[in-house]
Amino acid sequence: MTDYTKEIQKRRTFAIISHPDAGKTTLTEKFLLYGGAINLAGSVKGKATARHAVSDWMEIEKERGISVTSSVLQFNYDGYCINILDTPGHQDFSEDTYRTLMAADSAVMVIDASKGVEAQTRKLFKVCAMRHIPIFTFINKMDRDANDTFELLDDIEKELGIPTCPVNWPIGSGKKFRGVYDRDTKKVLTFSDTMKGTKEGHIEEIDIDDAKIDEVMDEDQKEQLMDEIELLDGASAEFDMEAVSCGKLSPVFFGSALTNFGVETFLQHFLTMTTSPLPRTADCGVIDPMTEEFSAFVFKIQANMNKAHRDRIAFMRICSGKFDAGMEVYHVQGDKKMRLSQPQQMMAQDRHIVEEAYAGDIIGVFDPGIFSIGDTVCTPGKKFAYEGIPTFAPEHFARVRLLDSMKRKQFVKGVNQIAQEGAIQIFQEYMGGMEEIIVGVVGVLQFDVLKYRLENEYNVDIRLENLPYEHIRWIANKEEVDVEKLTGTSDMKKVKDMKGNPLLLFVNSWSVGMTLDRNENLKLEEFSKN
Protein backbone atom coordinates (compact mmCIF):
# COMPACT_ATOMS: atom_id res chain seq x y z
CA MET A 1 0.00 0.00 0.00
CA THR A 2 1.19 3.48 -0.74
CA ASP A 3 1.28 6.08 1.98
CA TYR A 4 -1.83 7.87 0.91
CA THR A 5 -3.94 4.69 0.82
CA LYS A 6 -2.75 3.82 4.33
CA GLU A 7 -3.87 7.23 5.49
CA ILE A 8 -7.27 6.81 3.90
CA GLN A 9 -7.71 3.31 5.25
CA LYS A 10 -7.28 4.44 8.83
CA ARG A 11 -9.85 7.20 8.60
CA ARG A 12 -13.22 6.91 10.34
CA THR A 13 -15.63 9.77 9.77
CA PHE A 14 -18.87 9.76 11.70
CA ALA A 15 -21.52 11.97 13.23
CA ILE A 16 -23.10 11.64 16.64
CA ILE A 17 -26.86 12.01 16.59
CA SER A 18 -29.07 12.46 19.60
CA HIS A 19 -31.81 14.47 21.21
CA PRO A 20 -30.50 17.39 23.31
CA ASP A 21 -29.30 16.32 26.75
CA ALA A 22 -28.89 12.65 25.90
CA GLY A 23 -25.13 13.05 26.44
CA LYS A 24 -23.61 13.69 23.02
CA THR A 25 -21.19 16.36 24.27
CA THR A 26 -20.14 14.25 27.23
CA LEU A 27 -19.53 11.22 25.03
CA THR A 28 -17.52 13.28 22.53
CA GLU A 29 -15.39 14.60 25.38
CA LYS A 30 -14.66 11.11 26.58
CA PHE A 31 -13.69 10.01 23.06
CA LEU A 32 -11.27 12.90 22.84
CA LEU A 33 -9.91 12.02 26.23
CA TYR A 34 -9.02 8.52 25.04
CA GLY A 35 -7.50 9.96 21.92
CA GLY A 36 -5.30 12.19 24.07
CA ALA A 37 -6.63 15.18 22.14
CA ILE A 38 -7.59 16.92 25.37
CA ASN A 39 -6.23 16.51 28.84
CA LEU A 40 -9.26 17.28 30.83
CA ALA A 41 -12.70 16.06 30.02
CA GLY A 42 -15.04 19.00 30.24
CA SER A 43 -12.93 21.34 28.22
CA VAL A 44 -14.43 20.67 24.80
CA LYS A 45 -17.34 22.91 25.24
CA GLY A 46 -18.55 23.75 28.65
CA LYS A 47 -22.06 25.08 28.25
CA ALA A 48 -21.31 28.63 29.35
CA THR A 49 -18.05 30.38 28.69
CA ALA A 50 -15.55 27.73 27.68
CA ARG A 51 -17.50 26.91 24.58
CA HIS A 52 -16.79 30.28 23.04
CA ALA A 53 -13.20 29.37 22.57
CA VAL A 54 -14.31 26.64 20.20
CA SER A 55 -16.70 28.39 17.94
CA ASP A 56 -16.72 32.04 18.67
CA TRP A 57 -17.91 32.66 15.16
CA MET A 58 -21.11 34.50 15.29
CA GLU A 59 -22.21 37.20 17.66
CA ILE A 60 -25.51 35.53 18.06
CA GLU A 61 -23.85 32.44 19.42
CA LYS A 62 -22.24 34.50 22.11
CA GLU A 63 -25.47 36.17 23.02
CA ARG A 64 -27.37 32.95 23.26
CA GLY A 65 -24.58 30.76 24.59
CA ILE A 66 -25.42 28.01 22.18
CA SER A 67 -23.69 26.63 19.20
CA VAL A 68 -25.18 27.61 15.86
CA THR A 69 -22.37 26.19 13.81
CA SER A 70 -21.27 22.64 13.77
CA SER A 71 -17.62 21.82 13.89
CA VAL A 72 -15.42 18.88 13.12
CA LEU A 73 -13.05 17.30 15.57
CA GLN A 74 -10.14 15.12 14.53
CA PHE A 75 -8.07 12.88 16.78
CA ASN A 76 -6.07 9.67 16.69
CA TYR A 77 -6.79 6.53 18.62
CA ASP A 78 -5.28 3.09 18.35
CA GLY A 79 -3.97 3.59 14.84
CA TYR A 80 -7.19 5.17 13.58
CA CYS A 81 -7.63 8.76 12.52
CA ILE A 82 -11.07 9.78 13.65
CA ASN A 83 -13.21 12.65 12.39
CA ILE A 84 -16.24 13.43 14.51
CA LEU A 85 -18.78 15.63 12.83
CA ASP A 86 -20.51 17.61 15.50
CA THR A 87 -24.19 18.16 14.76
CA PRO A 88 -25.72 21.13 16.61
CA GLY A 89 -27.41 19.56 19.59
CA HIS A 90 -29.66 22.33 20.71
CA GLN A 91 -33.36 22.09 20.06
CA ASP A 92 -32.97 24.87 17.52
CA PHE A 93 -30.91 22.87 15.17
CA SER A 94 -30.85 23.86 11.52
CA GLU A 95 -30.61 22.42 8.06
CA ASP A 96 -26.84 22.32 8.57
CA THR A 97 -27.36 19.53 11.06
CA TYR A 98 -28.90 17.40 8.32
CA ARG A 99 -26.28 18.42 5.77
CA THR A 100 -23.50 17.44 8.13
CA LEU A 101 -24.90 13.93 8.08
CA MET A 102 -24.31 13.84 4.33
CA ALA A 103 -20.58 14.09 5.04
CA ALA A 104 -20.52 11.18 7.50
CA ASP A 105 -19.81 7.53 6.72
CA SER A 106 -21.57 6.25 9.82
CA ALA A 107 -23.48 7.54 12.81
CA VAL A 108 -23.45 6.98 16.54
CA MET A 109 -26.89 7.37 18.04
CA VAL A 110 -26.91 8.33 21.70
CA ILE A 111 -30.07 7.51 23.62
CA ASP A 112 -30.93 8.46 27.17
CA ALA A 113 -31.74 5.20 28.96
CA SER A 114 -34.61 6.73 30.87
CA LYS A 115 -36.18 8.38 27.83
CA GLY A 116 -35.73 6.12 24.83
CA VAL A 117 -36.10 7.48 21.29
CA GLU A 118 -36.90 11.23 21.30
CA ALA A 119 -38.07 13.67 18.62
CA GLN A 120 -34.72 14.92 17.38
CA THR A 121 -33.19 11.44 17.33
CA ARG A 122 -36.05 10.39 15.07
CA LYS A 123 -35.47 13.23 12.59
CA LEU A 124 -31.73 12.69 12.38
CA PHE A 125 -32.14 8.95 12.12
CA LYS A 126 -34.38 9.42 9.07
CA VAL A 127 -31.61 11.23 7.23
CA CYS A 128 -29.06 8.52 8.09
CA ALA A 129 -31.50 5.82 7.04
CA MET A 130 -32.03 7.57 3.71
CA ARG A 131 -28.30 7.15 3.06
CA HIS A 132 -28.14 3.55 4.36
CA ILE A 133 -25.08 4.29 6.48
CA PRO A 134 -24.25 2.10 9.50
CA ILE A 135 -25.82 3.29 12.75
CA PHE A 136 -24.44 2.34 16.15
CA THR A 137 -26.45 2.82 19.31
CA PHE A 138 -25.02 3.91 22.64
CA ILE A 139 -27.60 3.77 25.42
CA ASN A 140 -26.36 6.31 27.92
CA LYS A 141 -26.93 7.27 31.55
CA MET A 142 -27.09 3.73 32.91
CA ASP A 143 -25.90 5.15 36.23
CA ARG A 144 -29.42 6.58 36.52
CA ASP A 145 -32.61 4.58 36.78
CA ALA A 146 -33.22 3.28 33.28
CA ASN A 147 -36.18 1.86 31.39
CA ASP A 148 -36.39 -1.89 31.04
CA THR A 149 -33.69 -2.98 28.60
CA PHE A 150 -36.01 -5.01 26.37
CA GLU A 151 -38.41 -2.08 26.24
CA LEU A 152 -35.61 0.25 25.20
CA LEU A 153 -34.67 -2.02 22.31
CA ASP A 154 -38.31 -2.47 21.38
CA ASP A 155 -38.73 1.29 21.30
CA ILE A 156 -35.82 1.66 18.84
CA GLU A 157 -37.15 -1.08 16.60
CA LYS A 158 -40.73 0.24 16.58
CA GLU A 159 -39.99 3.97 16.46
CA LEU A 160 -37.15 3.83 13.96
CA GLY A 161 -37.83 0.59 12.17
CA ILE A 162 -34.33 -0.81 12.59
CA PRO A 163 -33.65 -4.16 14.28
CA THR A 164 -31.05 -4.05 17.06
CA CYS A 165 -28.33 -6.39 18.16
CA PRO A 166 -26.98 -5.76 21.68
CA VAL A 167 -23.22 -6.31 21.81
CA ASN A 168 -23.28 -5.98 25.57
CA TRP A 169 -26.04 -6.04 28.16
CA PRO A 170 -26.47 -3.92 31.28
CA ILE A 171 -26.58 -5.36 34.78
CA GLY A 172 -29.04 -3.21 36.71
CA SER A 173 -29.23 0.57 36.47
CA GLY A 174 -29.06 3.61 38.72
CA LYS A 175 -27.80 2.77 42.20
CA LYS A 176 -27.90 -0.90 41.27
CA PHE A 177 -25.85 -0.55 38.11
CA ARG A 178 -23.04 -3.10 38.23
CA GLY A 179 -21.63 -3.05 34.73
CA VAL A 180 -22.15 -4.66 31.35
CA TYR A 181 -21.94 -8.24 30.17
CA ASP A 182 -20.17 -8.78 26.86
CA ARG A 183 -22.16 -11.33 24.90
CA ASP A 184 -19.21 -12.36 22.80
CA THR A 185 -16.49 -12.80 25.44
CA LYS A 186 -18.97 -13.71 28.21
CA LYS A 187 -17.13 -11.36 30.52
CA VAL A 188 -18.53 -8.72 32.80
CA LEU A 189 -17.02 -5.26 32.74
CA THR A 190 -17.58 -3.96 36.25
CA PHE A 191 -18.81 -0.47 36.87
CA SER A 192 -17.12 1.74 39.38
CA ASP A 193 -18.43 5.18 40.12
CA THR A 194 -15.89 7.77 39.08
CA MET A 195 -17.82 10.55 40.82
CA LYS A 196 -18.79 12.18 37.56
CA GLY A 197 -15.44 11.48 36.03
CA THR A 198 -13.44 13.31 38.67
CA LYS A 199 -11.93 10.16 40.10
CA GLU A 200 -10.11 7.47 38.19
CA GLY A 201 -12.32 4.44 37.82
CA HIS A 202 -11.18 0.93 38.47
CA ILE A 203 -12.83 -1.28 35.90
CA GLU A 204 -12.41 -5.03 36.12
CA GLU A 205 -13.17 -7.65 33.55
CA ILE A 206 -14.49 -10.81 35.16
CA ASP A 207 -15.52 -14.02 33.50
CA ILE A 208 -19.17 -14.80 34.14
CA ASP A 209 -18.19 -18.26 35.51
CA ASP A 210 -15.56 -16.83 37.84
CA ALA A 211 -16.52 -17.00 41.53
CA LYS A 212 -15.40 -13.39 41.88
CA ILE A 213 -18.50 -12.33 40.02
CA ASP A 214 -20.50 -12.83 43.24
CA GLU A 215 -18.69 -9.89 44.76
CA VAL A 216 -19.97 -7.69 41.97
CA MET A 217 -23.61 -8.64 41.93
CA ASP A 218 -26.04 -10.44 44.19
CA GLU A 219 -27.88 -13.68 43.48
CA ASP A 220 -30.97 -11.94 42.15
CA GLN A 221 -29.04 -9.80 39.72
CA LYS A 222 -27.08 -12.73 38.43
CA GLU A 223 -30.23 -14.77 37.95
CA GLN A 224 -31.91 -11.92 36.15
CA LEU A 225 -28.88 -11.44 33.90
CA MET A 226 -28.78 -15.13 32.97
CA ASP A 227 -32.53 -15.14 32.25
CA GLU A 228 -32.26 -12.05 30.12
CA ILE A 229 -29.30 -13.38 28.17
CA GLU A 230 -31.14 -16.60 27.46
CA LEU A 231 -34.18 -14.69 26.31
CA LEU A 232 -31.99 -12.41 24.22
CA ASP A 233 -30.11 -15.23 22.54
CA GLY A 234 -33.46 -16.68 21.51
CA ALA A 235 -35.17 -13.46 20.49
CA SER A 236 -32.80 -10.82 19.16
CA ALA A 237 -31.51 -10.51 15.64
CA GLU A 238 -28.28 -12.37 15.04
CA PHE A 239 -25.21 -10.29 14.53
CA ASP A 240 -24.74 -9.82 10.81
CA MET A 241 -21.95 -7.49 9.74
CA GLU A 242 -23.38 -7.07 6.27
CA ALA A 243 -26.69 -5.87 7.66
CA VAL A 244 -24.81 -3.46 9.96
CA SER A 245 -22.83 -2.08 7.02
CA CYS A 246 -25.93 -1.08 5.09
CA GLY A 247 -27.78 0.33 8.08
CA LYS A 248 -30.24 -2.55 8.41
CA LEU A 249 -29.12 -3.63 11.89
CA SER A 250 -27.87 -1.46 14.73
CA PRO A 251 -25.32 -2.84 17.21
CA VAL A 252 -26.22 -1.62 20.69
CA PHE A 253 -23.96 -0.78 23.63
CA PHE A 254 -24.76 0.38 27.16
CA GLY A 255 -22.80 2.72 29.36
CA SER A 256 -22.52 5.97 31.18
CA ALA A 257 -20.60 8.71 29.45
CA LEU A 258 -20.51 10.93 32.51
CA THR A 259 -18.87 8.36 34.75
CA ASN A 260 -16.77 7.22 31.84
CA PHE A 261 -18.07 3.70 31.85
CA GLY A 262 -18.48 1.61 28.73
CA VAL A 263 -17.12 4.37 26.51
CA GLU A 264 -13.76 2.90 25.59
CA THR A 265 -15.13 -0.57 24.94
CA PHE A 266 -17.78 1.04 22.76
CA LEU A 267 -15.15 3.04 20.88
CA GLN A 268 -13.04 -0.07 20.30
CA HIS A 269 -15.92 -2.18 19.00
CA PHE A 270 -17.26 0.69 16.96
CA LEU A 271 -13.92 1.34 15.26
CA THR A 272 -13.58 -2.25 14.13
CA MET A 273 -17.16 -2.42 12.88
CA THR A 274 -17.50 0.94 11.22
CA THR A 275 -16.24 1.71 7.80
CA SER A 276 -13.27 3.53 6.32
CA PRO A 277 -14.28 6.27 3.83
CA LEU A 278 -17.12 5.06 1.64
CA PRO A 279 -17.28 5.38 -2.14
CA ARG A 280 -19.54 8.21 -3.29
CA THR A 281 -21.79 8.45 -6.29
CA ALA A 282 -21.08 11.09 -8.93
CA ASP A 283 -22.70 11.75 -12.31
CA CYS A 284 -20.00 9.64 -13.97
CA GLY A 285 -20.44 6.68 -11.64
CA VAL A 286 -19.09 5.66 -8.26
CA ILE A 287 -15.82 7.27 -7.14
CA ASP A 288 -13.46 5.05 -5.16
CA PRO A 289 -11.98 6.91 -2.15
CA MET A 290 -8.66 5.20 -2.81
CA THR A 291 -8.13 6.72 -6.24
CA GLU A 292 -5.18 9.03 -6.21
CA GLU A 293 -6.99 12.03 -7.62
CA PHE A 294 -8.39 14.44 -5.12
CA SER A 295 -12.10 15.18 -5.04
CA ALA A 296 -14.47 16.71 -2.50
CA PHE A 297 -17.93 18.21 -2.16
CA VAL A 298 -19.17 21.22 -0.23
CA PHE A 299 -21.72 20.31 2.44
CA LYS A 300 -21.87 23.44 4.51
CA ILE A 301 -21.19 27.14 4.15
CA GLN A 302 -20.56 29.19 7.21
CA ALA A 303 -20.93 32.90 6.81
CA ASN A 304 -19.30 35.71 8.64
CA MET A 305 -16.96 33.95 10.96
CA ASN A 306 -15.02 37.13 10.87
CA LYS A 307 -17.43 40.03 10.75
CA ALA A 308 -14.79 42.56 9.74
CA HIS A 309 -14.12 40.70 6.51
CA ARG A 310 -17.53 39.31 5.72
CA ASP A 311 -15.85 36.11 4.73
CA ARG A 312 -17.43 32.74 4.39
CA ILE A 313 -16.01 29.31 4.99
CA ALA A 314 -17.00 26.42 2.79
CA PHE A 315 -16.75 23.05 4.48
CA MET A 316 -15.77 20.21 2.20
CA ARG A 317 -15.76 16.50 2.69
CA ILE A 318 -12.83 14.95 0.86
CA CYS A 319 -14.14 11.92 -1.02
CA SER A 320 -11.05 10.61 -2.74
CA GLY A 321 -7.30 10.92 -2.83
CA LYS A 322 -5.03 13.35 -1.09
CA PHE A 323 -5.26 17.08 -0.68
CA ASP A 324 -2.15 19.26 -0.53
CA ALA A 325 -2.35 22.88 0.50
CA GLY A 326 -1.54 25.00 -2.50
CA MET A 327 -2.48 22.37 -5.07
CA GLU A 328 -4.49 23.45 -8.04
CA VAL A 329 -8.05 22.17 -8.08
CA TYR A 330 -10.99 22.44 -10.41
CA HIS A 331 -14.33 23.81 -9.20
CA VAL A 332 -16.78 21.94 -11.39
CA GLN A 333 -19.90 24.11 -11.01
CA GLY A 334 -17.89 27.31 -11.46
CA ASP A 335 -15.90 25.77 -14.34
CA LYS A 336 -12.73 27.29 -12.94
CA LYS A 337 -9.28 26.17 -11.90
CA MET A 338 -8.23 27.57 -8.55
CA ARG A 339 -6.23 27.13 -5.39
CA LEU A 340 -8.16 26.59 -2.19
CA SER A 341 -7.37 29.43 0.11
CA GLN A 342 -6.50 28.98 3.79
CA PRO A 343 -7.60 25.37 4.12
CA GLN A 344 -8.17 24.59 7.77
CA GLN A 345 -9.17 21.87 10.11
CA MET A 346 -10.40 21.71 13.67
CA MET A 347 -8.32 19.76 16.13
CA ALA A 348 -10.21 19.74 19.37
CA GLN A 349 -10.26 23.44 20.26
CA ASP A 350 -7.93 24.79 17.64
CA ARG A 351 -8.46 25.75 14.08
CA HIS A 352 -5.26 25.34 12.19
CA ILE A 353 -4.06 25.47 8.62
CA VAL A 354 -3.77 22.06 7.00
CA GLU A 355 -0.84 21.07 4.85
CA GLU A 356 -2.40 17.84 3.69
CA ALA A 357 -5.61 15.94 4.16
CA TYR A 358 -7.10 12.70 2.88
CA ALA A 359 -10.36 11.13 1.79
CA GLY A 360 -12.57 11.04 4.86
CA ASP A 361 -11.31 14.37 6.19
CA ILE A 362 -13.21 17.61 6.36
CA ILE A 363 -11.54 20.88 5.50
CA GLY A 364 -12.87 24.40 5.69
CA VAL A 365 -11.68 26.79 2.98
CA PHE A 366 -12.01 30.51 2.55
CA ASP A 367 -14.89 31.20 0.20
CA PRO A 368 -15.11 34.55 -1.56
CA GLY A 369 -18.73 33.72 -2.44
CA ILE A 370 -18.23 31.25 -5.26
CA PHE A 371 -19.29 27.98 -3.69
CA SER A 372 -22.78 26.62 -3.25
CA ILE A 373 -23.86 23.70 -1.14
CA GLY A 374 -23.34 20.45 -3.01
CA ASP A 375 -20.58 21.75 -5.31
CA THR A 376 -17.77 19.44 -6.40
CA VAL A 377 -14.07 20.25 -6.40
CA CYS A 378 -11.63 17.85 -8.06
CA THR A 379 -8.28 17.41 -9.71
CA PRO A 380 -7.96 19.50 -12.90
CA GLY A 381 -8.55 17.33 -15.94
CA LYS A 382 -11.40 15.51 -14.26
CA LYS A 383 -14.91 16.76 -14.61
CA PHE A 384 -17.67 15.15 -12.60
CA ALA A 385 -20.22 16.25 -10.05
CA TYR A 386 -21.12 14.43 -6.87
CA GLU A 387 -24.77 13.78 -6.16
CA GLY A 388 -26.36 16.94 -4.82
CA ILE A 389 -27.39 17.47 -1.25
CA PRO A 390 -31.16 17.33 -0.82
CA THR A 391 -33.10 20.35 0.38
CA PHE A 392 -34.61 19.25 3.66
CA ALA A 393 -38.12 20.12 4.71
CA PRO A 394 -38.33 23.29 6.81
CA GLU A 395 -40.58 22.94 9.82
CA HIS A 396 -41.25 26.58 10.64
CA PHE A 397 -42.52 29.30 8.37
CA ALA A 398 -42.84 33.06 8.62
CA ARG A 399 -43.84 35.90 6.36
CA VAL A 400 -41.14 38.54 6.06
CA ARG A 401 -42.15 42.18 6.02
CA LEU A 402 -39.70 44.88 5.09
CA LEU A 403 -40.13 47.89 7.38
CA ASP A 404 -38.63 50.52 5.10
CA SER A 405 -39.70 50.02 1.50
CA MET A 406 -36.82 52.25 0.31
CA LYS A 407 -34.46 49.43 1.20
CA ARG A 408 -36.05 46.91 -1.08
CA LYS A 409 -32.85 46.31 -3.07
CA GLN A 410 -30.65 45.52 -0.07
CA PHE A 411 -33.42 43.38 1.34
CA VAL A 412 -33.73 41.22 -1.77
CA LYS A 413 -29.95 40.92 -2.00
CA GLY A 414 -29.67 39.98 1.68
CA VAL A 415 -32.33 37.28 1.76
CA ASN A 416 -31.05 35.84 -1.47
CA GLN A 417 -27.48 35.62 -0.22
CA ILE A 418 -28.49 34.13 3.09
CA ALA A 419 -30.69 31.62 1.29
CA GLN A 420 -27.84 30.76 -1.07
CA GLU A 421 -25.65 29.93 1.91
CA GLY A 422 -28.37 27.53 2.92
CA ALA A 423 -29.31 29.10 6.25
CA ILE A 424 -32.91 29.68 5.22
CA GLN A 425 -35.23 28.70 2.39
CA ILE A 426 -37.31 31.30 0.65
CA PHE A 427 -40.64 30.81 -1.01
CA GLN A 428 -43.00 33.00 -2.97
CA GLU A 429 -46.72 32.90 -3.59
CA TYR A 430 -47.22 30.42 -6.40
CA MET A 431 -48.49 33.11 -8.76
CA GLY A 432 -46.62 36.03 -7.21
CA GLY A 433 -43.18 37.64 -7.29
CA MET A 434 -40.71 38.86 -4.69
CA GLU A 435 -43.15 41.37 -3.17
CA GLU A 436 -44.09 38.88 -0.52
CA ILE A 437 -41.61 36.41 0.83
CA ILE A 438 -42.18 33.39 3.01
CA VAL A 439 -39.18 32.05 4.84
CA GLY A 440 -38.89 28.44 5.92
CA VAL A 441 -36.37 27.14 8.43
CA VAL A 442 -35.54 23.81 10.00
CA GLY A 443 -34.84 25.32 13.43
CA VAL A 444 -36.51 28.49 14.75
CA LEU A 445 -33.17 30.02 15.72
CA GLN A 446 -32.57 30.62 12.03
CA PHE A 447 -35.30 33.28 12.12
CA ASP A 448 -33.24 35.21 14.65
CA VAL A 449 -30.12 34.67 12.59
CA LEU A 450 -31.90 36.07 9.52
CA LYS A 451 -33.20 39.14 11.34
CA TYR A 452 -29.85 39.75 12.99
CA ARG A 453 -27.87 39.39 9.81
CA LEU A 454 -30.19 41.56 7.75
CA GLU A 455 -29.86 44.30 10.34
CA ASN A 456 -26.13 43.99 10.83
CA GLU A 457 -24.85 43.17 7.39
CA TYR A 458 -27.43 44.72 5.09
CA ASN A 459 -28.80 47.49 7.28
CA VAL A 460 -32.35 46.33 6.72
CA ASP A 461 -35.04 46.02 9.39
CA ILE A 462 -37.70 43.37 9.00
CA ARG A 463 -40.66 42.03 10.87
CA LEU A 464 -41.38 38.32 10.89
CA GLU A 465 -44.93 37.05 11.21
CA ASN A 466 -45.15 33.42 12.13
CA LEU A 467 -47.24 31.25 9.86
CA PRO A 468 -48.97 28.11 11.13
CA TYR A 469 -47.60 25.71 8.49
CA GLU A 470 -45.68 22.71 9.76
CA HIS A 471 -45.59 20.38 6.80
CA ILE A 472 -44.10 20.97 3.40
CA ARG A 473 -44.17 18.79 0.35
CA TRP A 474 -42.47 19.18 -2.98
CA ILE A 475 -44.43 17.99 -5.99
CA ALA A 476 -42.44 15.07 -7.30
CA ASN A 477 -44.21 14.87 -10.66
CA LYS A 478 -44.63 18.56 -11.42
CA GLU A 479 -44.65 17.93 -15.17
CA GLU A 480 -47.74 15.77 -14.88
CA VAL A 481 -49.70 17.97 -12.52
CA ASP A 482 -51.52 21.23 -13.16
CA VAL A 483 -50.65 22.96 -9.93
CA GLU A 484 -53.16 25.72 -10.41
CA LYS A 485 -55.99 23.23 -10.57
CA LEU A 486 -54.94 21.18 -7.54
CA THR A 487 -57.67 20.93 -4.97
CA GLY A 488 -56.36 20.60 -1.48
CA THR A 489 -57.63 21.26 2.01
CA SER A 490 -58.53 24.71 3.33
CA ASP A 491 -55.25 24.98 5.23
CA MET A 492 -53.15 24.25 2.15
CA LYS A 493 -51.00 26.94 0.54
CA LYS A 494 -49.37 26.78 -2.88
CA VAL A 495 -45.91 28.33 -3.12
CA LYS A 496 -42.78 27.98 -5.21
CA ASP A 497 -39.14 27.80 -4.20
CA MET A 498 -36.30 29.88 -5.62
CA LYS A 499 -35.85 27.50 -8.51
CA GLY A 500 -39.52 27.77 -9.41
CA ASN A 501 -40.43 24.31 -8.11
CA PRO A 502 -44.02 24.15 -6.88
CA LEU A 503 -44.63 23.15 -3.27
CA LEU A 504 -47.50 22.76 -0.91
CA LEU A 505 -47.61 23.92 2.70
CA PHE A 506 -49.97 22.39 5.24
CA VAL A 507 -50.94 23.12 8.81
CA ASN A 508 -51.98 19.57 9.64
CA SER A 509 -50.34 16.32 8.71
CA TRP A 510 -53.67 14.73 7.84
CA SER A 511 -54.24 17.41 5.20
CA VAL A 512 -51.28 15.96 3.32
CA GLY A 513 -53.05 12.61 3.10
CA MET A 514 -56.35 14.26 2.25
CA THR A 515 -54.79 16.24 -0.60
CA LEU A 516 -53.23 13.08 -1.99
CA ASP A 517 -56.63 11.39 -1.83
CA ARG A 518 -58.28 14.24 -3.69
CA ASN A 519 -55.68 14.37 -6.47
CA GLU A 520 -55.10 10.93 -7.83
CA ASN A 521 -52.01 11.66 -9.93
CA LEU A 522 -50.24 13.79 -7.38
CA LYS A 523 -46.93 12.58 -5.99
CA LEU A 524 -45.39 14.43 -3.04
CA GLU A 525 -41.99 14.20 -1.40
CA GLU A 526 -40.50 15.45 1.85
CA PHE A 527 -37.22 16.71 0.47
CA SER A 528 -36.16 18.02 -2.89
CA LYS A 529 -33.26 16.66 -4.87
CA ASN A 530 -33.47 19.43 -7.45
Give the number of C-alpha atoms closer than 13 A to the C-alpha of residue 495, restricted to the C-beta side.
26
Q: Which one of the spans 137-145, 187-195, 340-348, 518-526 is the region binding ligand GDP (CB under 6 A)?
A: 137-145
Residue 21 is a binding residue for ligand GDP (CB under 6 A): yes
CA dist., res. 347 & res. 183, Å (int): 35
Least distance to ligand GDP, CB of residue 53, Å:
17
- Give yes or no for a contact between 117 and 129, defined as CB atoms under 8 angstroms apart: no
* Torsion angle of the four alpha carbons 152, 155, 156, 157, in this order, in degrees rounded to the nearest 10: 120
Pick the closest to residue 494 from 431, 436, 439, 433 (CA basis): 431
Least distance to ligand GDP, CB of residue 402, Å:
37
Pick the closest to residue 330 from 320, 317, 321, 340 (CA basis): 340
Q: Which one of the spans 36-44, 119-127, 253-261, 412-420 is the region binding ligand GDP (CB under 6 A)?
A: 253-261
- Give yes or no for a contact between 156 and 149, defined as CB atoms under 8 angstroms apart: no
Restricting to residues 82-121, name those near ligand GDP by CB under 6 A: 89
Least distance to ligand GDP, CB of residue 17, Å:
10
**Among 11, 12, 24, 317, interactor with ligand GDP by CB under 6 A:** 24
Site string for ligand GDP, 366-405 (x = CB under 6 A): ----------------------------------------
Residue 515 is a binding residue for ligand GDP (CB under 6 A): no
Annotate 319-339 with DSSP letters as a single string.
Answer: EESEEETT-EEEETTTTEEEE
Q: Which one of the spans 21-29, 55-63, 159-167, 206-214 is the region binding ligand GDP (CB under 6 A)?
A: 21-29
Nearer to ligand GDP, 191 or 474 (CB): 191
Nearer to ligand GDP, 101 or 398 (CB): 101
Least distance to ligand GDP, CB of residue 372, Å:
30
CA dist., res. 367 & res. 494, Å (int): 35
The 8-class DSSP code of residue 488 comes to -
Least distance to ligand GDP, CB of residue 143, Å:
5
CA dist., res. 238 & res. 390, Å (int): 34
| Residues touching ligand GDP, count (CB under 6 A) | 16
Residue 256 is a binding residue for ligand GDP (CB under 6 A): yes
Residue 248 is a binding residue for ligand GDP (CB under 6 A): no
CA dist., res. 451 & res. 340, Å (int): 31
The 8-class DSSP code of residue 485 comes to G
Cα–Cα–Cα angle for 409, 435, 452, rounded to 5 degrees = 55
First to last CA, the chain: 39
Residue ranges binding ligand GDP (CB under 6 A): 18, 20-26, 89, 140-141, 143-144, 256-258
* Residue stretches of the annotated binding site: 18-25, 86-90, 140-143
* Residue stretches of the annotated binding site for GTP: 18-25, 86-90, 140-143
